Each structure stands twice: as structure tokens, then as C-alpha cells.
Amino acid sequence: MRVLVAEDEPTLSAQLCAALADAGYAVDAARNGREVCYQGETQSYDAVVLDLGLPELDGISVLKRWRSQGQTMPVLILTARDQWHEKVAGIDAGADDYLTKPFHMEELLARLRALIRRSQGLASPTLSCGDLTLDTRSSRVSLAGLPVNLTSHEYKVLEYLMHRPNAVVSRAELTEHIYAQDFDRDSNTIEVFVGRLRKKLPAELIETVRGLGYRLVPPA
Ligand code: CA
């Protein structure tokens, strides 16, 4: 899952990026509103953390522009304390949730997990496909109750597929959602990760749809 952190305050931005990377997200950061707006228009994000008080173009304007263009990614806004009207304006502009500064990082992470699963129509923090379960809170995967050890990239690929049950996901889409922008991407590595996942999980679980991509298939 890939997240954009739109925050101009350097310390908070660094803390957010570190916490999100620790939680297994691919993270891009942008500090001014124009850059944030451009990133959201040109990159694929599973969620955005958007500070409303951004230089050059404020967060509400960025959000209104994205929504008017049909961008539907979940957006969690950060508002200053005691600015209740900002929350109302933000939600009316298309935000999905908000947090008031200062906030606890754990709460932000929990809200983001909820926004991301809800955006895919999933209600539970534990995702399952047959015997396979993935707990988005602990990043743990188990098969028939037994833990499965995955590398961080294997986990990211599986997590993305499990958020899109029965959908065909292309290698390009996987590449866009498991790597941050500054990462040296190579869509061939996706094939490698899928190959390793097939060795650790029932091989038929990840189906190759020729010419299109991969699909997670629950056992018959
Ligand atoms: Ca700010």
C-alpha cells in the first residue's frame, strides 16, 4: 500500500514518514500544496494524509481539485486544534476522516487501515482467503492457523492482492502500489515476489491471468 504524506512541518513530516514506513507502507512526502496536488494527480495512492495548512495551495483547495477530477483515494486530513470549522470544511470538500493535532501515531495508523479497507469494501481488519489470513494490524500472515514468514516485499504484494479479492491486478499496478516514488522500480521483481509467495502458500492461490496480471483465488 502506498501513502502520500502532505505535511509542511519538517519534524512531523519525518515522524509520519518513519511511522508509515515502519508499518509497511511505501511512502512519498510532499511539503507544499502545489506539489501535493500534482503528486495526487499523477501517482497512485491507497491513502493520503493531508495537512490543511499547506503553503502555496491550502489543503482544502487541493482536496476540492482532486475530487472534482474524480480522484477517489481515501484522504485523512490533519487539522489544527480548536479549528472545528476546518473539519467541517474538509469533510465537505471530500475528506474521509480527520485527526486534530497533536495526535497519537497509533490512532493515525488505525484510521488509515480502516480507510484503506473500507475503500475496498472490506470491514474487518483481518483479511482471509480460504485458509489464509492476513492481519493488517500486526502484518502477520497465517495459513490454517500456522504463521507464514514473509519478507516485507512479499507481504506488500500479498496485502495488496488480499485487499482486492477476485480482481485481476496487473504487474504495473502492483509496482505502483508497493514502491515509493524514489525507489528504483522494476516490474520484473513482482514476478519474483509472486514466485516466492507461491512457494510459501498453496501455489494455486495466486492465479496468473495471461497478459493481464494476477488474481487471488479462494480454493474451491
Ligand atoms: Ca501546516
* pLDDT one-digit tens code per residue, 179-200: 998 777 777 889 999 999 999 9
Give me ligand 1 centre to Cα 90, in Å: 14
Cell of 198: 507461491
- Residue with the bigger pLDDT between 9 and 220: it is 9
In this prediction the pTM is 0.94
Give me ligand 1 centre to Cα 202, in Å: 47
Give me ligand 1 centre to Cα 41, in Å: 21
Average pLDDT over residues 23-30: 96
Give per-residue pLDDT as tens, 31-47.
Answer: 999 999 999 999 999 99
- Give the CA distances from residue 65 to residues 40, 58, 181, 185, 200, in Å, rounded to whole numbers and listed in that order: 10, 11, 22, 29, 44
Average pLDDT over residues 162-186: 90
- Of the pLDDT bands very low, low, confident and very high (cuts 50, 70, 90), residue 161 is very high
Angle 200-205-206 (CA atoms, 0-180°, nearest 5)? Answer: 90
- Of the pLDDT bands very low, low, confident and very high (cuts 50, 70, 90), residue 77 is very high
- Contact present, 67 and 75 (Cβ < 8 Å): no
DSSP letter assigned to residue 203: G
CA 82 to chain CA mean position, Å: 29
Cell of 176: 505502483
Give me ligand 1 centre to Cα 119, in Å: 26
- Give the CA distances from residue 156 to residues 29, 84, 210, in Å, rounded to whole numbers and listed in that order: 19, 36, 22
